[in-house]
Amino acid sequence: MLEPDISVLEGYDAKSMMLNHPTSKNVRLLVEVALSSLNIDRELKYQIYVEHDILEFWIVDLVHFVVHVYKQPNKESRLYENVQTYTRGQRIRTLSVEVSIDDFFL
The answer to whether residue 1 sits within a structural domain is: no
The region that residue 23 occupies, defined by phi over 0 for left and psi between -120 and 50 for alpha, beta otherwise, is beta
Span 25-61, pLDDT tens digits: 889 999 999 999 899 999 999 999 999 999 999 999 9
Lowest mean pLDDT among 1-10, 14-23, 47-56, 60-69: 14-23
pLDDT at 1: 56
pLDDT at 19: 81
- Please, which pLDDT band fits residue 18 given cuts at 50, 70 and 90? confident
Whether 3 shows a pLDDT value over 70: the answer reads yes
What secondary structure does DSSP assign to 54-83, as a single string?
-SEEEEEETTTTEEEEEEEEETTTTEEEEE
Percent of the chain with pLDDT over 70: 98
Q: How far apart are CA 17 and CA 87, in angstroms?
A: 35
The single-letter DSSP state of residue 35 is S
Q: Which domain holds residue 78?
A: 6-103
Domain count, the chain: 1
Q: How many CA atoms lie within 13 A of 96 on its CB side?
A: 1
Please, which residues bridge with residue 6 across strands? Answer: 31
The answer to whether residue 90 sits within a structural domain is: yes
CATH number, domain at 26?
3.90.1570.10
Q: How far apart are CA 15 and CA 2, in angstroms?
A: 21
- Please, which pLDDT band fits residue 21 given cuts at 50, 70 and 90? confident
- Please, which pLDDT band fits residue 7 given cuts at 50, 70 and 90? confident
**What are the backbone dihedrals phi and psi of residue 90, each rounded to the nearest 5 degrees, phi first?**
-95, 165
